[in-house]
Chains A and B, each alone.
Chain A
Amino acid sequence: MALLRVEKMSHEFGGLRAVNNYSLEIEKGQIRGLIGPNGAGKTTIFNLITGIYKPTEGEIYLEGKKITGLPPNQIASHGLGRTFQNMQLWRHMSVLEHVKMARYSRITYGLFGAFFGTAKRQREEEEIEEMAYSLLKMVGIAHLAGQIILNLPYGAQRRVEIARALATEPKVLFLDEPTAGMNPEELIQMMEIVRKVHKNLGLAIFLIEHRLKVVMELCEIIQTLNFGQVIAEGTPEEIQNDPKVIDAYLGKGTVI
């Protein structure tokens, strides 16, 4: 049984059909990619599966449980973590606090513990920090733990977002253009991080990308989306040679 299954999902904004008859199956531990030109509906699909929008039609199952139409926080607690295309970080908070926030519901010490530093608080804080540091190390920013987001370079901010998503212990991780705006060096580092996270935590990853190089190297199976519809699905080799994909990216029959 697939870990995440989307069946014939469609979505309309007003009269515009942004996503049409979209299906997806992600197996445990798989890395999948979603590519397509600007405005093809990639982020809309992310927002639909993660519950920010409710699909007009279709069903979504996570580990066999139906999650269609649930609010985003419940879907997240079922084991779906994500990052955002335009990073959503809390600018004045530290890197460590970002990861801590993801452990919100597991913090059980209350007012008394916070004010008087009880043994329980000490223990919980140590546990959280240990976990946070291991995640930050995995994405290579453990040395920046105490820094405020405002002071971090762009590439490091992307990594904070990934560490934060990982701290919620997802079974599937959605990455929305993790390499957007990165230089070639940062790009290679980011690809290594995705590989490392995948290997160390064994989770399934669903990736939106603009750069074909990244998806081609990382993903087992790639979907190509155009005008809200999957026009091709297959391995990197199949996708690369699919005339429909080439058309979608380069335009039909244009020879310059």
Chain B
Amino acid sequence: MTFFFQNLINALQWGSFYALIALGYSMVYGILMLFNFAHGDIFMVGAYIGFGVATGVTALASFGAIVLPKWLILVLTIIISMFLTSFVGMLVERLGYRPLREAPRASAAITGLMIGIILETGNLALLGAQRVRFPTLIKSETYNISGVFVTNKKIMIVVVSLMLMLALHQFVRRTKWGMAMRAMAFDFVVVPLMGVPINTIAAMTFAIGSALAAAAGILFGVAYPVLDPYMGIVFGWKAFVAAILGGRGSILGATLAGFLLGFLEIFVAMIFPSTLRDLIAYSIILLILTFRPHGFFGEPYSARLRL
């Protein structure tokens, strides 16, 4: 039983990363009907920006001889990096996708893949091929709760992720921008007639998705402090699977599917040899999608008026 709970904790942490990234895929798909295939690389960019900000804040504090507690540096890093990465997302939307709004969806998909490659190789050109080490911002402490080992990092990662997801949910439900996003999932014709600037809302969606990916990147850096320019690829694809599994455009679906993916991977690795982990985990997902191709909360068909 302790074995089970131990893995449950690990799965929650692992699922948090997937869920946070999947939300970005799903939100963008929800309103623009395109999958932003550069999103995994935005997660990578977010992690690197986090690395830069954390290093910068630490240096600045020591330069000004201010003693900042490490947790405060982490909080600042998360907030500043989310803010900065949201601009990367908006830039991608503005330069990459907006000119293609009326183009076939395949063109937008290819653009996404190319933007991804540009981000990866751009990073490579900028920082070189060696991996960077994410600064240690919180000292790892392990608690033994009746046989289950829980680290403070894991708790922090899961709690911060859940808080962000809750904040997103509230944003979509309670603000006028969130209301506009939900309406834009259905049409681009009537929504502007209501006085909604749809381009602003589209940019905002990219910004929020990218900010969440940045948060995932930093939390990942806290847990596994080695960053490399290609770290976003596998994560991006797996989170994409989560977005599909949750139902395209569904926020709740993306969250649940992200966690489910985390659970599957961890528990499959618990039972089978870890080399078979992805093979078995993703075969299960393939099976689910065979019976439920539109995912948990997606609509079986999607049609929208575009003029």
A binding-site residues for B, Cβ under 8 Å: 47, 52, 71-73, 76-77, 81-82, 84, 86, 88-93, 97, 100-102, 104-105, 107, 110-111, 114-115, 164, 168
Contact = CB atoms under 8 A, between A and B. Distances in A.
20 contacts: A47-B307, A52-B189, A73-B196, A76-B192, A76-B195, A90-B182, A90-B183, A90-B187, A93-B179, A93-B182, A100-B179, A101-B180, A101-B196, A104-B176, A107-B176, A111-B175, A114-B170, A114-B174, A115-B167, A168-B194
Given A52-B189, A114-B170, A105 B195 contact: yes
A88 B183 contact: no
A104 B194 contact: yes
A104 B176 CA distance: 7
A92 B182 contact: yes
Contacts of B307: 47, 52
A100 B191 CA distance: 12
A26 B171 CA distance: 43
Interface string B35-65: 0000000000000000000000000000000
Contacts of B192: 71-73, 76
Contact of A97 (B171, B179, B185, B189): B179
B185 to A, nearest CB: 7
Contacts of B174: 114-115
A47 B305 CA distance: 14
A71 B175 CA distance: 26
B186 interface: yes
Contacts of A111: 171, 175
A104 B196 contact: yes
A107 B167 CA distance: 20
B190 interface: yes
A101 B193 CA distance: 10
A101 B194 contact: yes
A85 to B, nearest CB: 11
Contact of B190 (A88, A91, A97, A105): A88
Contacts of A90: 182-183, 185-187
A28 to B, nearest CB: 22
B175 A82 contact: no
Contacts of A73: 192-193, 195-197
Given A88-B305, A89-B186, A101-B179, 16 more contacts: A52-B189, A72-B192, A72-B193, A76-B193, A86-B305, A88-B190, A90-B183, A91-B186, A93-B179, A100-B179, A101-B180, A101-B183, A104-B176, A104-B180, A104-B194, A114-B170
Q: Which of B182, B183, B190, B305 has the most CB of A within 10 A?
A: B190
Contacts of B187: 88, 90
B170 A88 contact: no
A115 B307 CA distance: 35
The 6 closest A-B pairs by CB, nearest first: A105-B195, A73-B192, A114-B174, A76-B193, A114-B175, A107-B176
A82 B174 CA distance: 27
A114 B171 contact: yes
Interface in B10-32: none
B289 to A, nearest CB: 22
Nearest to A76: B193
B190 A84 contact: yes
A82 B307 CA distance: 16
Nearest to A97: B179
Nearest to B198: A73
B171 A104 contact: no
Contact of B193 (A86, A91, A168): A168
Contact of A104 (B170, B195, B305): B195
A91 to B, nearest CB: 6
Interface string B157-193: 0000000000100110011100110110111011111
Contacts of B191: 101
Contacts of B185: 90, 92
Contacts of A101: 179-180, 183, 191, 194, 196
Contacts of A110: 175
Contacts of A164: 194
Nearest to B190: A88
Contacts of A93: 179, 182-183
Nearest to B307: A52
Contacts of B182: 90, 92-93
A47 B194 CA distance: 16
Given A97-B179, A101-B179, A114-B171, A168 B186 contact: no
A102 B167 CA distance: 25
A73 to B, nearest CB: 4
A90 B194 CA distance: 13
A92 B176 CA distance: 16
Nearest to A89: B186
